[in-house]
Chain A
Amino acid sequence: MKIKELQRICLEVRRDIIRMLGEAGSGHPGGSLSAAELVVALYFSVMKHRAKEPDWEDRDRFILSKGHCCPLLYAVLARCGYFPVEKLLTLRKLGSPLQGHPHNLEVPGIEASTGSLGQGLSIANGIALAGRLNKKNYRVYCLLGDGETDEGQVWEAVMTSNHYHLDNLCAIVDRNRLQIDGKTADIMQLEPYPEKWRAFGWYVIEIDGNNLAEVLGAYLQAEKIKGKPTVIIARTIKGKGISFMENEVEWHGQAPKKEEVEKALKELGERI
């Protein structure tokens, strides 16, 4: 798929996210918007998957370890045809399958139920190990937040992927430099960050995660790395695409109000 087309889908997905959160009245816009290119590129260009056959055995697997960013995943799945786009507006509504954190038994295409941070990469390790034992060619992708990697379990998992040389696994860190309570640099210093992953035996690719050409390039490169796991450290802008949300900590977990929705949609519309 052409980059122009992917860019159009990213815009569409960002609008979906804003509409969903506006309708729900709560949710996490910042980290959903920052990772749009990362997830859209996977589903519309990189991964083998079938919207009409979500359980297809040979599909590539995607684990959203930072489960609070599920509005992004819901929008991407809907745009891929896993379920009707109209359903997006039921986010967090009474009885809706689209919960505030993803539930794999309710929504087709969700690989793992997440919401408690720090657990996804371990699950991804298990799936990657099983894939290798079962002689399957699928690849496993796991998206983490940078704040999320404060969790000790993440580093247990990081060691494991290296120990078992899981080259069928690709981790992506949305390095937007913000978490709930502030800047990652103020809350818990992560740097020297790429060096940490390297020291743990990973192949590290650093990119601008809001630049589709770089994102696609990184996924291609990751597939070619053999004998070790790859992490893409994607520098992004939290709240990307909406001027008043970009890099603002308060947009981690609050929904836009009506006027803000309109303003945001206008900004997104004008950029087509």
Chain B
Amino acid sequence: MRTVFNKTLLKIAKKDERIFLVLADIGYGEIEPFAKAFPDRYFNVGVAEQNMTDIACGLAMEGNIAVTYSIANFPTLRCLEQIRNDVCYHNVNVKIVIIGGGLAYGALGVSHQSTEDLAIMRALPDMVVVAPADFTEAEAATYAMVKHPGPVYYRCGYKKEPRLHKGKIDFKIGKAIQARAGGDITLIGTGTITYRVYQAAELLVKDGIQARVLSMHTVKPIDKEAILKAADETRGIITVEEHNIIGGLGGAVAEVLAEGGVGVPFKRIGLPDTYVHIVGSHDWLLDRFGFSPESIAQVAKNLLKCRQ
């Protein structure tokens, strides 16, 4: 997905000369084509994320669209106050892109896991939070991000994520995409984990359950309409996110449901509120933390059962 993002950004930059790329010593093997094509619109400021963010802020203040880019928490948490006071408070056109959302850098340990980012970025006024599920969404999200005036946080995957959407998609910031139709229960995912959510829905068919799958690629602004519609049309809602159980997608959906006054059975699936201080491959960690399609399907069955 990282490659899809970089290729798309390059394509856009060829047509839009407001696009700048500001790096902090993380780009090797991916950003060279951009650096080569637009040496004047590319800055690598060294391992200095706070500096990177505010240089982007300054560039954006002069009418440009500045993209900051690094892995996991380095372009977000490391420079959070620069994002809050400078990027968001000025409401400037800075796009913050992380590579390896969630546990994608599985073996690298906690410093390289981005598992509180959705909650933290979501809490910043004017920040739009997107997490594409597959390559198709990643490409569309890049266009949408550039088009959107103001700060955007873009949680990118890493490599070789499976395809969720078979055909064309209609990607709009703030509008969930239905990846699978179903009337029994709704499974909502965000980011690359959504593929596993889809697999869980396929497993549920054996039990006679038709699950609707929503790719909630925009966590903020959240698609209230799709959530309330699901609450109305299906018998339960489950959110799945590769993120701390607190404050991310599940939190956002819960807020909508509670204030919408709908009493639909609801369950959040996410990481427990601890550090994932064991290492392993991305897939191994996901299985271990309850994100296997089987465990997601089981949660769905339990939720429907307790309803009856």
Contacts and interface: CB of A to CB of B under 8 A. Distances in A.
Nearest to B105: A100
A101 to B, nearest CB: 4
B279 A179 contact: no
Given A147-B25, A150-B45, A151-B47, A100 B110 contact: no
Contacts of B112: 100-101, 115
Contacts of A24: 107
A95 B110 contact: no
A93 B108 contact: no
A160 interface: no
A67 interface: yes
A114 interface: yes
A150 B277 contact: no
A152 to B, nearest CB: 6
B107 A26 contact: yes
Interface string A33-44: 000000000000
Interface in A232-260: 249-250, 252-253
A184 B74 CA distance: 19
B51 A117 contact: no
Nearest to B29: A250
B292 interface: no
B46 A114 contact: no
A151 B50 CA distance: 8
Interface string B246-279: 0000000000000000000000000000000111
Interface in B66-105: 73-74, 78, 105
Contact of B23 (A115, A181, A253): A181
Contacts of B73: 116
Given A118-B47, A188-B45, A180 B111 contact: no
Nearest to A25: B107
A94 interface: yes
Interface in A76-127: 92-96, 99-103, 105-106, 113-118
B25 A96 contact: no
A94 B284 contact: yes
Tell me the dominant secondary structure on chain B's binding face.
loop
Nearest to A27: B107
Contacts of B140: none
A152 B46 CA distance: 11
Contacts of A105: 277
A113 B50 contact: no
Contacts of B277: 99, 103, 105-106
A92 B78 contact: no
Given A94-B284, A95-B279, A252-B28, A150 B47 contact: yes
Q: Which residue of A102, A148, A150 has the most chain B CB atoms within 10 A of its CB atom?
A: A150
B47 A101 contact: no
Given A93-B280, A116-B73, A180-B25, A151 B48 contact: yes
A115 B110 CA distance: 8
A14 to B, nearest CB: 22
A3 interface: no
B74 A116 contact: yes
A130 interface: no
A179 B111 contact: no
A225 interface: no
A187 interface: yes
Nearest to B278: A95
A95 B280 contact: yes
Interface in B19-34: 23-28
Contacts of B78: 116
B44 interface: yes
Contacts of A181: 23, 25-28, 44
A96 B106 CA distance: 12
A9 B296 CA distance: 50
Contact of B111 (A116, A148, A253): A116
Given A116-B73, A116-B78, A150-B47, 13 more contacts: A92-B108, A94-B281, A95-B279, A99-B108, A99-B277, A100-B112, A101-B108, A113-B111, A116-B74, A117-B47, A150-B48, A181-B28, A187-B46
Interface of B: 23-28, 44-48, 50-51, 73-74, 78, 105, 107-112, 277-281, 284
17 contacts: A92-B108, A93-B280, A94-B279, A95-B279, A99-B107, A100-B108, A101-B110, A106-B277, A113-B110, A116-B73, A117-B47, A151-B47, A152-B51, A179-B47, A184-B46, A187-B46, A249-B28
5 closest Cβ contacts across the A-B interface?
A115-B111, A188-B46, A150-B46, A100-B108, A92-B107
